Each structure stands twice: as C-alpha cells, then as structure tokens.
Structure 1
Amino acid sequence: MHLVLLTSLTMFAFAANSILNRVALTAGDIDAISFGVVRLLAGAIMLASLVWLRDRKLSLGGTRRLVGVSSLLVYIFGFSVAYQSLDAGLGALILFGMVQITMFAGALLCGERPSPQRWTGALLAFSGLAWLLLPGQASAPSVWHAMSMAAAGIGWGFYSLNGRRLSDALGATAANFGIAAVIAVFLALGLSGITGDTGISTASAFGLTMAVVSGAVTSGLGYALWYTVLPQLRGSTAAVAQLTVPVIAMAGGALVLSEIVNLRLATAALLVLGGVLLAVTSRR
C-alpha cells in the first residue's frame, strides 16, 4: 500500500506540471519562455539540494551529458510554448504519446525485435495521435503548438533513452537541470536583448509562483520520488502507471480550468493509452 501511494503521488505530480503551466499562461501572468527558465532554475536548486544532502557533493560531468542537457531543454521549452494554446489534458496526451513512440523507435534502432503485440500497440497509439492532430476538424488543435508539444515528447523520449543505463539517475538529472538552467538563462537574456522583451521582469507574482512550484515541487521532488519508487516496480508496472498521467491532467484541466473533454479527445485518449497499454504489457 505504501508503494501504491507513493507511485500515485508521483503520477499526480507529473500531471500537475501541465495544470500549473497552463494556469500560469492562460491569464498572461508569465510568458512561456520565462516559465521554462524559472522552472529549470527552481528544479535545479531543488535537485542539487537533494543530491548534496545525500552525497555531500554534486558532479556536473559524466557521460551522455550533452544529450541529456539538450533533450531536457527541448522538452522544457517545447512543453511551455505548447501550453500557450493547448488544453492541459490534450497537451499531456500528445506529450505522453510521443514519448512512448520515441522510445519504441529507439528500441528498434538499438536492435530490439518487438513482438507483434507491441507493434500493434505502437501503431494503435500512433493512429490515435494522428487522428487527434488531423487538420481540418473543428476541434483540431493549433498545428504550431501541437508540434511544439510533439517536440517536447521527442525530447523527453531521448532523455529517457539516454538515462536508461545510468547508475545514478537522480544525480544525472540534477546535473542536467543545473547545466540546462545556466544555458536557458543566457539564451533568454540574449533573446530579450534582440526582441526588446523584458521577459521575467513583467511576470506577476502568481505566474512566478506557478513556475517555481512546477520546477521545485512537481518536477524536482516529483523526479526524486519517481527514482525512489522506480527500482521497486516491475518495468511493465512502471510503464502502465504512467498511463494515468494524461487522464489526471484531463480531469484537472476540466476541474481547474473548465476545459472541455470532447468525444474526439476522449476517443483519441482511448486509442493512444490503449495502444501503449498493449505495447508495454507484451511479452517476447
């Protein structure tokens, strides 16, 4: 029961990132780039503190750091930009679907031979995303923002593939957040100098608070909790548990932001999540 509660809390934390980002951007309390920068900074501070308390040191070097930092930056800013327009649940579904498709493609490139059931599940999930994003429909999302979230999903998929064989996932994530935060600050300063946009200085206290909570609590503490429970879960159990994240985000969006879960979104969610469930429970 203790493990179930911790896993459930972790899934709620991951889903809350969508809600917090969407809430902050909807009312214009902060812009998307500033939200991403503050989220990275808050997450870096929280994760570095946790690793320091554990080891009394923090290493920024290590293998695969370039891939980890670059894919993290793509995820963070693709995620924030997408929520300028996408509903919380819709964004979470696109993100989750693209993460799973990216990891499936990565497994193929690494020489794995998926079973017919896993192939069927992957194709079913992909068809659900394709139908959801098909242009010309009245409820079709913005192509630009949907592509931004798809890029975020690919980024997080690469991040997950890159970190699968790391012995210290929490330490690596702390280092990746720290380096990515420094890069993001310099990029944001350069962008504001070019465009004349004052960025974070125009954000409200509410917008900044949402970004800090997203970085320090639902990202930083959320990842730390996930890496604590993950070794105790079977691989398929961990994958299936993550199926709840888009559903929680949809429910949260409906309750907090009065977002509408229409028939098209619900059907796409069944296809995507059903396909992923089929894939991750397959046996060779």
Structure 2
Amino acid sequence: MFAISQSTLRSSTSKAADSLLKTCLLTVLAIIAFAANSVLSRLALAEEAIDAASFTAVRLITGALVLLIIVSVKSLRHRQSINLLKVVKPVSGSWFASIMLFIYAVTFSYAYITVDTGTGALILFGSVQLTMIAISLLFGTRLYLAEWVGILMAFSGLIYLVLPDVSSPSFNGFILMTLSGVAWGVYTLKGRHSQAPIMDTAYNFARTLPLVLVLIIVAFDSLHFTYQGIILAAIAGGLTSAVGYSIWYIALKGLSATQAAVIQLSVPIIAAIGGVIFVAEPITYRLMISSLVVLGGILTVVIGRYYSINAATKTTNETR
C-alpha cells in the first residue's frame, strides 16, 4: 500500500509539474501575442502601408474567419454541427460585446497613427485596468486603502505621460487609445463568466462584420493599402488576435485572477521593446517614468487587494 501511495504521489506531482509548464508556456505566448498586436499595428500604420479603416477591417475579418475555422474543427472533433446562422441569433456571444470589440479595434487602429508602440500599449492597458476597477465600484465592490493608492498612482502616471512635451502622445491619439481601453475593459468583463469563451469570441468577431462594412463605406474615400499593410493586418487579426486570445483562454485555466492581472502588466514593456526593435522608436525618459508609475499603481491595486483580503480574513478568524 505504501508503494502504491508513493507511486500515486509521484504521478500526481508529475502531472502538476506538466500542467504548470503548459500554463507558463501558453501564458508567455499569449502575452507576446498581445504585445505583437501593438507592434504590428504601429508598424503598418506609422509606415502608411495601410489606412486605419482598412487595417481594422482586415484584422476583424481575418480574426472572424480564423476563429470560426477553429470552432468548426473543434465541433467536427466532437461530432457536432456548426450553424453559421448563430451569428445573427443570441446563442453565442452578444451584440453588445461585439460593439465593444469593434470600438476597441477601430479606435486602437486610429490611435496608432500618432501614438508610439509602448506609449499606446501603456495607455491601453492602463485604461483597461482602471475601467474594470471603476465598473467594480459601481457594482458595490469595496476598495481597500492600498487599492486607492494604486489608482491615484496610475492616474498620476497617465497625466504625466500626456503633459505637453515632444515625447508625449497627441491629444487625439491619447483619447482614442483611452476609448479603446475602456471598450476592451467592458468587453473583458462581459465575457468573464463565459462557458464557451472561444465560441463566444468567434461569434463576437463575426458580428462585427456589419459594422466593418459601415466603416468601409464611411471611410471609402480615404482607403489605401499595400500588400505589406494587408499582410500585417491579417497577421494581427488571424494570429496575434484570434489565436492569441484562444491561447490566453486556455492559459487562464491554470492562473488565478491575481496572477492573470499581474502578468498582463508586462505587455506595455514588451510592446515598447518591440517598438524599439521593429519600428525604430526611441525609449524616452517620460515613457519610462510613466510606465513605472502606471504599472506600479496597477500592481499596487492588484496585490494590495489580495493581501488586504487575506489580512481581513485572518483578523475575522482570530476574533471567532
């Protein structure tokens, strides 16, 4: 019996180690994909290889196609049929989530015309986290002192970033990227309790197609693109967005909410490094200082809540 127990323990430990390794690998790939979205967008738009509307359209169309293919393959493997009519029925995903996804994508593209890679990612993920915190407050979530301190730090960092200076982003770029972050934050919260995240994401992407058509019609006179621009947009949509999001959903199964939030804070730094390598952008002192303050503030919010809850729980248990 002892030998069997030892064997079972070794097997369990091995499985846990394999699961941890898989989670770490998938997480790294997903974070790189998120940062690559910023790099690809800036690379295509800053070099005027494609306009923002066309980039958005190609990205969303390619993302929808790739995700629907993934869903189809999964359905076939489980001997299920896929009904494309679900795109217009409230079966998977939602129209509200699709609208948020479209707003995120279109403002993201237009912002990256004037905003550097690292700066854009910093504004985006700062806005995402602050949006999620604000919505949580509206729904009655109580914030601890450490979380308030973190929020003030993050806002201070964003204000410092956009103060008049040659290295700060344009006002329009800042507003557009902030709107993009707010939309992505709402979209993320909308899908927190999804039972079939890949399926929901696929149909959310598909539902953006009518909005894409409207965008193309409105921006028709300013459309321009090259093969390079289309390829960059297709990679951003089909690989770093569609596949990247799918990988992230799988990785989330092995991550706590705190771990997932903290890990995402590395995206702006990776994006900034990618901007330096691939887009020849400089790393300015303003961006470095703002990054430290904003990311430090968000980290304070996430970690502060974790330790505050543990301290409160410990105090409650001791008084019983």
Query: The TM-score by the shorter chain falls in which range?
Result: over 0.9
- The residue aligned with 1:209 is 231
Residue 186 of structure 1, CA deviation: 3.2
The percent of aligned pairs where both chains have the same amino acid is 39
| Equivalent AA in structure 2 for residue 18 of structure 1 | S
Distance 1:50 1:109 in 2: 36
Distance 2:263 2:288 in 1: 19
TM-score (norm 2): 0.83
Q: Which 4+ residue blocks in structure 1 deviate beyond 6 angstroms?
A: none
- The residue aligned with 1:71 is 100
Is the 8 Å Cα contact of residues 64 and 162 (structure 1) preserved in structure 2?
no
SS at match of 1:232: coil
- The residue aligned with 1:5 is 25
Distance 2:82 2:144 in 1: 43
- The residue aligned with 1:103 is 132
- The residue aligned with 2:204 is 176
Superposed counterparts of 1:177-196, under 5 Å: 177-192=205-220, 196=221
- The residue aligned with 1:137 is 165
Distance 1:116 1:63 in 2: 39
Residue 63 of structure 1, CA deviation: 7.6
1:267 counterpart (270, 285, 289)? 289
Is the 8 Å Cα contact of residues 93 and 199 (structure 2) preserved in structure 1?
no
Distance 1:97 1:30 in 2: 27
| Equivalent AA in structure 2 for residue 269 of structure 1 | S
SS at match of 2:105: helix
Residue 8 of structure 1, CA deviation: 0.6
| Equivalent AA in structure 2 for residue 68 of structure 1 | A
Distance 1:159 1:240 in 2: 19
Task: Show CA shifts across 1:245-265 (max 9, x none).
Answer: 101000000111111111111
2:46 counterpart (17, 20, 26)? 26
TM-score (norm 1): 0.94
Task: Show CA shifts across 1:220-269 (max 9, x none).
Answer: 00001001111110111111110111010000001111111111110100
Superposed counterparts of 1:46-85, under 5 Å: 46-55=66-75, 56-57=81-82, 59-60=86-87, 61-62=90-91, 65-85=94-114
Task: Show CA shifts across 1:164-223 (max 9, x none).
Answer: 12211211111110010232123312432xxx33x2xx3111000000000000000000
- The residue aligned with 2:6 is none
- The residue aligned with 1:42 is 62
User: Cα gap change, 1:25/1:112 in structure 2, threshold over 3 Å: closer, same or farther?
Assistant: same
Question: Are 1:16 and 2:36 an aligned pair?
Answer: yes
SS at match of 1:119: helix
Unpaired runs of at least 5, structure 2: 1-20, 76-80, 310-320
User: Cα gap change, 1:85/1:49 in structure 2, threshold over 3 Å: closer, same or farther?
Assistant: same
- The residue aligned with 2:262 is 240
Question: Are 1:126 and 2:155 an aligned pair?
Answer: yes
Is the 8 Å Cα contact of residues 72 and 180 (structure 1) preserved in structure 2?
yes
Distance 2:235 2:35 in 1: 13
Task: Show CA shifts across 1:77-112 (max 9, x none).
Answer: 110001101111000000000000000001001111
- The residue aligned with 1:91 is 120
Question: Are 1:153 and 2:181 an aligned pair?
Answer: yes
Residue 4 of structure 1, CA deviation: 1.1
Distance 2:142 2:272 in 1: 34
Bigger Cα Rg: 2
| Equivalent AA in structure 2 for residue 126 of structure 1 | F
Distance 2:197 2:159 in 1: 32
- The residue aligned with 2:312 is none
| Equivalent AA in structure 2 for residue 100 of structure 1 | Q
Unpaired runs of at least 5, structure 1: none
